[in-house]
Amino acid sequence: MQLKDQAAIVTGGASGLGAATARRLAAAGARVAVCDMNAKLAESVAAEIKGVAVVCDVADAASAEAAIAAAAKAHGPARVLVNCAGIGVAKRVVGRDGPMPLADFERVIKVNLIGSFNMLRLAATEMSKLAPQSTGERGVIISTASVAAYDGQIGQSAYSASKGGIVGMTLPIARELAQFGIRVLTIAPGLFLTPLLGGLPQEAQDSLAAAIPFPHRLGQPDEFASLAMHMIDNPYLNGEVVRLDASLRMAPK
């Protein structure tokens, strides 16, 4: 995918993995819409990369439609969508106060899984109308799963289910959108130094890092962004879920 002067959308773009990806895309010459619920942070990142900030609740159909329209008004229809928006709530199915509230499970599924699909379906529709580039491509869509889709821990039932859904929908959607020259991919990151983990005490961060075979540290958001950029750049990569976890699955139980 040729990125120079092309429009791109990054959800969850105000911080962490999304912000790093937005910066990489802008550095490659793309015009980036930073979509996030946090307007202040989104505006800060957008100003830094000379993009546009768009407030968006990915789990809401109307909000997502408005975000896609606002991004297109600013930069034209997007050829790239990177879904980084997501939440993670750790709760046991059976806790001290009884069963996990169903609303808690539903919220994680709605934001992570339905939100990713929501943005994907809207962006893909607009991409399908674009003229193909010289490679035959009309667009690239990358979603964010997690190693929890494969190796979920106690308390991650909702999170693992939501990320497993993203993994499961990647290939069938890639097969469907191939007719339009739209590639669909997913990254499954391991333990990354995002705002969620960055807020933990250093001792807790070190304990998590010790479980990683090599290198013995948490992943950096720019390493996620680097993989996203390779996926966008490589036209023969399609329908894949790539784990980015420093072989965390090899860690001793």
Residues with catalytic function: 159
Q: How does DSSP assign 187-229, residue by residue?
A: EEE-SB--HHHHTS-HHHHHHHHHT-SSSSSPBPHHHHHHHHH
Q: What is the DSSP letter of 26?
A: H
Q: What is the DSSP letter of 101?
A: P
Q: How far apart are CA 55 and CA 35, in angstroms?
A: 6
- Residue 3's contacts (CB-CB under 8 Å, 6 or more residues apart) are 25, 28, 29, 30, 80, 232
